[in-house]
Amino acid sequence: MTVRQVSTGASSDHASHWHDIDWARCHREVRRLQTRIVKATQEGKHGKARALQWLLTHSFSGKALAVKRVTENRGKRTPGVDGITWSTPKSKLEAVSSLKRHGYRPCPLRRIYIPKANGKQRPLGIPCMVDRAQQALYLLALEPIAETMADPNSYGFRSARSAADAIEQCFRALARSDCAQWILEADIRSCFDEISHDWLIANIPMDKAILRGWLKAGYLHDQVLYATQAGTPQGGIISPTLMNMTLDGLERKLRAQARKRHGSSKVNIVRYADDFVITGATREVLTDVVRPMVEQFLAERGLSLSPEKTRITHIDDGFDFLGMNVRKYGGKLLIKPAKANVQRFLRKLRGMVKGSATMRHDLLIRQLNPLIRGWANYYQRVVSKRTFSKVSDAIWQCLWRWARRRHPTKGAHWVKRKYFRVVDHRQWVFGTQVGEKPASGKPALLTLFDVASTPIRRHRKIKGAANPFDPQWESYFEARLGHEMMDSLEGRKRLIRLWWDQGRACSICCQPITKTSGWRLFHLERVTEGGTDAMRNLSMLHPDCHGIARGRRFSVVKPAPATGL
């Protein structure tokens, strides 16, 4: 599928309007520079990599994509200390021109506190829009280097990696009978808040003056300015990458030293952001070799382990990691949803239902479905079938109490007829009729997502050396993308066919449509003007590109269907 504008589009570096920017060209230019940065880094040409970083951070394409990112993410309406947001096309285009290194001085962060699961509060720093855009811009130049230098088994805050990859690596490191039996559960104390500024400035390959400005900007709380002597703020776009680069190198050092001292010590590390576990053949290996080595590595970066949360566990006793419980039962490794996380999910769901005592039936279902579906999708890669069944029973009990409280004078049979349906031989399905189906004209049935019917699928772990910025891995990521999309769209044959017919890419920006990016259907001919839901009248776009297509009146033309990959 191809796209052309009705009016002649301006070139990307001379755009007179925000919607006139050629986003496909911007992505191509930035991607080309990122690929060259990866190649220079792999060849050890660090001077050339710095020069390419300078080109990217001074390019119109990089600046435009940086502004696009910060004006389309979840925090786009949250201002910093200056109270400014970029919400109009004019302000966005002006923001692109304002992103300059000369004269740039970061503003202090706006400090807020959000509650943690343990009852404590997590400090969150909110930068101003211009600082967010500058961080997004320099992240475009830093991320290719970070991916090239990253530890193979680091999975948090990285492109194309997820918690499911980390859990699958845990399975590979512990499943066999000859695998390690002991695990060091490590917890870094206030990782984001205590990273040494001196270490970051000396070791992070980016503009030192810009980085120093971000680190030393301070924060405002209750109209009082506080200086920052250490740490990188949680809430900054570039902070997760800085944290990852701070901890990179730990895996290589651990394996080299453990092999040198103890030979076959079965030392493996699985890290997701600042949470990690390390396996060992014996308790002594973890106590005498691994833990002192980790503490020394962290101390060089201003970090330390939390004595209260760091422990050594046997695999038969199990441990919790990323919301999963990893444990061997009679020599067989099973990874299940952690009990604490299941209870936390049910408490949240019960709170939502209890707070919706007067909410309409269909609105409650629409409110609960994203929560239940997201939770089920996170745990569908592990041994969760029995847990899903128990959770489904708990959800039914919660909704039955909700329905009975709404009608205290009615009998159970009346309540069942009003709120529950029979669907495909399943009794007691919480649902209601809404609107009409376009084809048949019959009422459509809206039902609660059935967590018990979620299929269990083994996750395909990403290869440790895979680099999304390296052209050598392009075919690997294309194949992986196809598998992920087919899994997420199973049962929706029309969407799968549409996705393949248009080359698996958005028709506006020509970037891949993935499970993470999401998509929206676009009617080529508006329904209000006689358009239908037929395949020939639909296109699959990114959510943000959908708004651009509607705003700028794109003309979309369909070619012949694709015949191959």
Query: pLDDT value at position 557?
Result: 44
Query: What are the structural domains of the chain?
Result: 23-149+196-229 (no CATH), 150-195+230-337 (3.30.70.270), 339-453 (no CATH), 471-552 (no CATH)
State which H helix or E strand residue 99 sits in: none
Q: Give the N- to C-terminal CA distance of the chain in Å, as an integer.
A: 14
Alpha-carbon gap, residue 219 to 295, rounded angstroms: 29
What is the pTM (predicted TM-score) of this model?
0.84
Give the strands of the sheet with 219-221, arranged side by side.
121-126, 109-115, 219-221, 224-226
Query: 520 with 15: CB under 8 angstroms?
Result: no
Alpha-carbon gap, residue 83 to 507, rounded angstroms: 35
Distances (CA, A) of 409 to 403, 412, 414: 12, 10, 10
- Listed in sequence order, the DSSP H helices in 124-190 are 129-149, 163-174
Query: pLDDT value at position 563?
Result: 41
> Which pair of structure tokens corresponds to residue 19?
């919607």
Instruction: Give the angle subtended at the CA of 340 by the CAs of 382 and 308, to the nearest 5°.
Output: 110
Query: Which residues contact residue 480 at a Cβ distance below 8 angstroms, ignoring those fewer than 6 apart?
Result: 160, 460, 462
**Which residues of the chain have a pLDDT value below 50?**
1-12, 491, 527-530, 553-565
> What DSSP assignment string belongs to 78-93?
---TT-----SHHHHH
Query: pLDDT value at position 526?
Result: 58
Alpha-carbon gap, residue 260 to 361, rounded angstroms: 64
Alpha-carbon gap, residue 92 to 17, rounded angstroms: 9
Burial of 523 (0-12, 13-18, 19+ CB in 10 A): middle
Residue 512 β-bridge partners = 505
Count of other CB atoms within 10 angstroms of residue 437: 10
Query: pLDDT value at position 441?
Result: 57
CA pseudo-torsion sign 140, 142, 148, 153: negative
DSSP 6: S
Instruction: Name the amino acid, one letter, at 202.
Output: A
Query: 89 with 117: CB under 8 angstroms?
Result: no
> Which pair of structure tokens corresponds to residue 122?
């997590």
Query: 64 with 12: CB under 8 angstroms?
Result: yes
Written in H, E and C, the secondary structure of 473-527 is HHHHHHHHHHHHHHHHCCCCHHHHHHHHHCCCECCCCCCECCCCCCCEEEECCCH
Nearest by Cα to 109 from 140, 133, 81, 83: 81
Burial of 364 (0-12, 13-18, 19+ CB in 10 A): buried
Query: pLDDT value at position 497?
Result: 82
Query: pLDDT value at position 482?
Result: 60
Count of other CB atoms within 10 angstroms of residue 323: 18
Alpha-carbon gap, residue 147 to 145, rounded angstroms: 5
Query: 411 with 418: CB under 8 angstroms?
Result: no
Q: What is the dihedral of CA 193, 516, 129, 125, to 10 degrees?
A: -20
Instruction: Name the amino acid, one letter, at 554.
Output: F
Query: pLDDT value at position 163?
Result: 95
